[in-house]
């Protein structure tokens, strides 16, 4: 395996413990708009874009309705949800050590850059990141390879020198389609077996295990 020069980290469910935040904000959005709320739909949709999550949640794909509800969700998320998010154990120290060893670290997410930037700045991670590639930075979000391709372009690395890390099939499919290495995390959206079936070469149980994979 080529030396890993770029680590591409998913945000929600991989480095950011944001599930409670998403559930809270989605439930408030549904209640305000007169829709019933089903937590299990959110559980199955983590990793999707906000628009896709909302479409699944309300059972309606009318573009105008989705646009209105996405705007309503974002107001709640930005006002209340972002401050509820915390980093998973081991994330800050592991990213610090990778950065100290000259490994570039990017966040690659179906979330948006302003929200991610706010959280990682608040939690002290921003100084150790080389870039943040959100869904609005590319034409197609995950599971398409666009986000990974953009992160690799910014870092000036080849797919063989990059690893995509995430908790969902969206992350593994993105990484595999982009031709890079893939590492799943077992504590997020999808099961280890599902991640392996989608292309994960490794599945880690805690974030600090990533250091050994990257640095050897």
DSSP secondary structure string, 20-89?
HHHHHHHHHHHHHHT----HHHHHHHTTS-HHHHHHHHHT---HHHHHHHHHHHHHHIIIIIGGG-EEPT
pTM for this prediction: 0.92
Q: Is residue 201 a part of any domain in this protein? A: yes
Domain termination residue (choose one: 67, 84, 101): 84
Task: Say yes or no: 60 and 141 in one domain.
Answer: no
Residue 138 resides in a domain: yes
Domain boundary among 65, 84, 103: 84
Whether 126 and 59 map to the same domain: the answer is no
Task: Return all residues near 36 (Cβ < 8 A) that are at least 6 apart.
Answer: 30
Domain boundary among 84, 103, 138: 84
Residue 122 lies in a domain: yes
Residue 1, in any domain of the structure: no
Do 59 and 38 touch, CB atoms closer than 8 A? no
- Quick one: 62 and 96 in the same domain? no
Full residue range of the structural domain in which residue 132 is found: 6-17+86-215
Q: What is the pLDDT of residue 154?
A: 98
What separation in angstroms does the CA of 22 have from each of 19, 43, 56, 156, 177? 5, 10, 14, 33, 28
Query: What's the token pair of residue 180?
Result: 């890079």
Give the pLDDT of the chain (216 residues) as one tens digit per residue.
789 999 999 999 999 999 999 999 999 999 999 999 999 999 888 888 899 999 999 999 999 999 999 999 999 999 999 999 999 999 999 999 999 999 999 999 999 999 999 999 999 999 999 999 999 999 999 999 999 999 999 999 999 999 999 999 999 999 999 999 999 999 999 999 999 999 999 999 999 999 999 998
Instruction: Report how many domains make up the chain.
Output: 2
């Amino acid at each position: 395996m080529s030396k890993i020069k770029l680590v591409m980290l998913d945000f929600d469910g991989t480095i950011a413990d944001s599930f409670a935040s998403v559930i809270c904000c989605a439930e408030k959005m549904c209640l305000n708009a007169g829709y019933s709320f089903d937590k299990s739909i959110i559980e199955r949709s983590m990793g999707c874009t906000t628009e896709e999550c909302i479409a699944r949640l309300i059972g309606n794909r009318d573009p105008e309705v989705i646009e209105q509800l996405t705007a309503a969700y974002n107001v709640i998320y930005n006002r209340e949800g972002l401050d509820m998010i915390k980093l998973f154990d081991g994330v800050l120290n592991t990213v610090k050590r990778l950065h100290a060893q000259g490994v570039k670290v990017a966040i690659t997410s179906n979330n948006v850059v302003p929200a991610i930037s706010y959280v990682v700045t608040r939690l002290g991670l921003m100084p150790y990141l080389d870039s943040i590639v959100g869904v609005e930075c590319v034409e197609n979000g995950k599971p398409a390879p666009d986000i990974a391709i953009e992160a690799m372009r910014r870092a000036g690395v080849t797919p063989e020198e990059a690893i995509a890390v995430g908790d969902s099939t969206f992350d593994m499919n993105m990484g595999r389609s982009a031709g890079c290495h893939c590492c799943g995390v077992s504590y997020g959206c999808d099961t280890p077996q599902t991640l392996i079936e989608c292309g994960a070469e490794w599945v880690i149980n805690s974030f600090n295990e990533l250091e050994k994979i990257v640095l050897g």
